DNA sequence: GAAGATGTAACCATTTTTGGGTATTGATAG
DNA sequence: CTATCAATACCCAAAAATGGTTACATCTTC
């Protein structure tokens, strides 16, 4: 077994780290190419025969998810492992919806990297333990034409409205006044938001809102 | 010349990458310890003799800048190189104000890592080319008693520590376990933080922490 | 040595959040 | 037409946050 691998990450220390980890795990993993951004990945795929690509999710010029989508449209047989600093449901679902076979968070244990590559090479999927729970959500959602639409996350209009106000620091009581609905209804919306986003504290909610550009810091 | 190095980054691939890079550069660099967050750094310094520490700027629990400040208060002879994904002026100026001797952006060339360590070991400062321009700004600011930490201040060491954990989404109970103090004491710290910052909700606290660079969303 | 800052710890009461139900209306999709 | 979804509203209980007070030991600073 000789697995040909392409590594894509804009940080040289990360690429170096992955290469070293793969070397330390044995002889079967061979890094045949490296890229600094998504467009470079697509170009390199014309030159090299690659079995598995490891794509950082946040690369300049063409991000990892978009790269996944385009790459697999051209070459469905290639396996993609997404490498990400984020372990939120949305990123994982997007990755799976776009056809990635693996999802590794960056603080994964060393052995995980090899396990993930071997698994996707065999045709399985591999998700880091901290995000494995989103696999169910994804397949469940797929029944209702999920994954097809770009909006993998499905907050309703009112929920987004409440989310923004929560993230901006309003209390439920204040939001009720603001939106002219009752305190109870606000709480229901918040419950639904938290359930959908798998968030359990307002602090996490604020960081989510900032990351998603719903509010600016 | 034998330089003893501590590497701190919450991502194992990054730590591995730096170690590999240092090994490839020759025999004089020895990684004697690794840490996943700032508090672990401070603990490890009691055990190991370290010449140079490489600190990621955005670590959980205690970020790189705050770690720098505390570390150098205890051990002024140690040299600190900040490793950052961000090349903004504020981060660089804060790093220098807190006493860091080097500032590396994460997409630095391989040789830069060794150059930075050697330079700070010799007592010089090293800034990545893309941020070197901020050195001037810093020295200009020094005239006005910079280094004293203007922005976040008013807050004591413990208060900043609690602030970061609160902003990262820990509950008071979890923070108590994390810091090995009682629930009551955590609440006192939080009360003081909120009073000093004139903040009344955890949501505002998170946004404040992000705005001040204490955490990164 | 006194004064002030810091970190620790406890007590209290009130408000807010979090999370679990159920139920009705209107709109929309199959 | 009907089944589902969105939005509304209410009930409940446990957990957590918020905000106030007091107290004491340590440490630095003047």
The two three-digit tokens of residue B78, written as one number = 């140690």
Q: Residue A135 — pLDDT band, cuts 50, 70, 90?
A: low
* Residue A159 CB lies within 7 Å of the nucleic strand D: yes
Confidence of residue A27 (pLDDT cuts 50, 70, 90): confident
Taking 90 as the threshold, does the pLDDT of residue B8 lie above it?
yes
A120 Cβ under 8 Å from any chain B Cβ: no
Q: What digits encode the pLDDT tens for the residues A78-104?
A: 999 999 887 766 778 778 888 899 999
- Higher local confidence (pLDDT), B36 or B74: B36
The verdict on a CB contact (< 8 Å) between A12 and B109 is: yes
Residue A35: its pLDDT value, please?
95
Task: Provide the CATH topology of domain B151-211.
Answer: Arc Repressor Mutant, subunit A (1.10.10)
Query: What pLDDT is stored for residue A153 in this prediction?
Result: 56
Q: How many CB atoms lie within 10 A of CB B165?
A: 25
User: 3-state class of A154 per DSSP?
Assistant: coil
pLDDT tens string B10-21:
999 999 999 999
Over pLDDT 70: what percentage of chain B? 90
CB within 8 Å: A202 and B203: yes
CB proximity B125–strand C (7 Å threshold): no
What band does B108 get if pLDDT is binned at 50, 70 and 90?
confident
Give per-residue pLDDT as tens, B47-83.
999 999 999 999 999 999 989 988 988 888 999 999 9
Whether B166 sits inside 8 A of A109 (CB atoms) is no
Is pLDDT larger for residue B214 or for residue B186?
B186
Q: Which pair of structure tokens corresponds to residue B189?
A: 């710290």
Q: Tell me the mean pLDDT in the region B96-117.
A: 90
Mean pLDDT across B163-189: 95
> Is pLDDT at A144 greater than 60 in this prediction?
no
pLDDT at B74: 85
The nt closest to A171 (CA vs C1′) is C16
pLDDT of residue B130: 85
Question: Nearest 5°: phi and psi at B106?
Answer: -70, -20
Residue A206 has pLDDT above 90, yes or no: yes
Q: Which of residues 2-21 of A touch strand D (CB under 7 A)?
A: none
At residue A18, the pLDDT reads 93
| Confidence (pLDDT) at B116 | 95
Q: pLDDT at position A131, please? A: 80
Mean pLDDT, rounded, for B173-177: 95
Please indicate whether, in this complex, the C-beta atoms of B18 and A17 are within 8 angstroms of each other: yes
CA atoms within 13 A on the CB side of B25: 22
Nucleotides of D under 7 A from a protein CB: 5-12, 16-23
Average pLDDT over residues A37-62: 91
Residues of A in contact with B211 (CB under 8 A): 217
Query: How close does chain B come to A143, measured CA to CA in Å?
Result: 32
The answer on pLDDT for A56 being more than 60 is yes
Q: Which of A99-108, A202-211, B83-92 has the lowest mean pLDDT?
A: B83-92
Residue-averaged pLDDT of chain A: 84
Predicted confidence (pLDDT) at residue B216 exceeds the cutoff of 70: yes
pLDDT digits (tens, 9 = 90+) for B113-163: 999 999 999 999 999 988 887 765 443 333 333 333 334 456 888 999 999
Residue A158 has pLDDT above 90, yes or no: no
**Closest partner CB to B207 (pick from A12, A21, A206):** A206
- State whether residue B204 sits within 8 Å of chain A by CB: yes
For helices B12-24 and B110-121, the axis angle rounded to 10 degrees is 80
Which residues in A lie closer than 8 A to residue B163 (C-beta atoms)?
Answer: none
Q: What is the mean pLDDT of residues B168-197?
A: 94
Question: Model confidence over B148-162: pLDDT tens digits?
Answer: 333 445 688 899 999
pLDDT of residue A137: 45
- pLDDT at site A217: 64
Per residue in A116-127, pLDDT tens?
A: 999 999 999 999
Domain B3-149 is found in CATH 3.40.50.2300: yes
Q: What's the rounded Cα separation, in Å, for the pair A196 and A162? A: 14
Q: Who has greater pLDDT, A214 or A65?
A: A65
3-state helix, strand, coil in chain A (%, to 5): 50, 15, 35
Residue A147 has pLDDT above 70, yes or no: no
Tell me the torsion sign for CA atoms A130, A135, A85, A18: positive
Q: Which nucleotides of C are covered by protein (CB under 7 A)?
A: 5-12, 16-22
DSSP letter string over A78-130?
SEEEEEES---HHHHHHHHHTT-SEEEETT--HHHHHHHHHHHHTT--EE-GG
CA angle B143, B148, B151 (to 5 degrees): 105
The confidence score (pLDDT) of residue A150 equals 30
More confident residue, A96 or B33: B33
Domain ranges of chain B: 3-149, 151-211
């Amino acid at each position: 077994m000789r697995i040909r691998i392409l590594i894509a990450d804009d940080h040289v220390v990360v690429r170096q780290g992955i290469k070293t980890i793969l070397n330390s795990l044995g002889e079967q993993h061979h890094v045949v190419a490296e890229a600094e951004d998504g467009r470079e990945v697509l170009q390199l795929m014309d030159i090299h025969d690659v079995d598995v690509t490891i794509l950082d999710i946040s690369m300049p010029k063409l991000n990892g998810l978009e790269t996944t989508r385009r790459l697999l449209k051209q070459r469905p047989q290639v396996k993609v492992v997404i490498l990400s600093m984020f372990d939120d449901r949305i990123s994982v679902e997007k990755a799976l919806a776009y056809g990635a076979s693996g999802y590794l968070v960056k603080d994964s244990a060393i052995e995980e990297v090899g396990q993930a590559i071997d698994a996707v090479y065999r045709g399985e999927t591999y998700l880091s333990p901290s995000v494995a729970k989103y696999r169910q959500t994804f397949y469940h959602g797929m029944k209702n034409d999920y994954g097809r639409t770009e909006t993998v996350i499905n907050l309703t209009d009112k929920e987004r409205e409440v989310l923004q106000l929560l993230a901006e620091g309003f209390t439920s009581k204040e939001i009720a006044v603001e939106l002219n609905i009752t305190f109870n209804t606000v709480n229901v919306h918040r419950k639904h938001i938290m359930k959908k986003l798998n968030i359990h504290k307002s602090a996490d909610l604020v960081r989510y809102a900032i990351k998603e550009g719903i509010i600016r810091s």
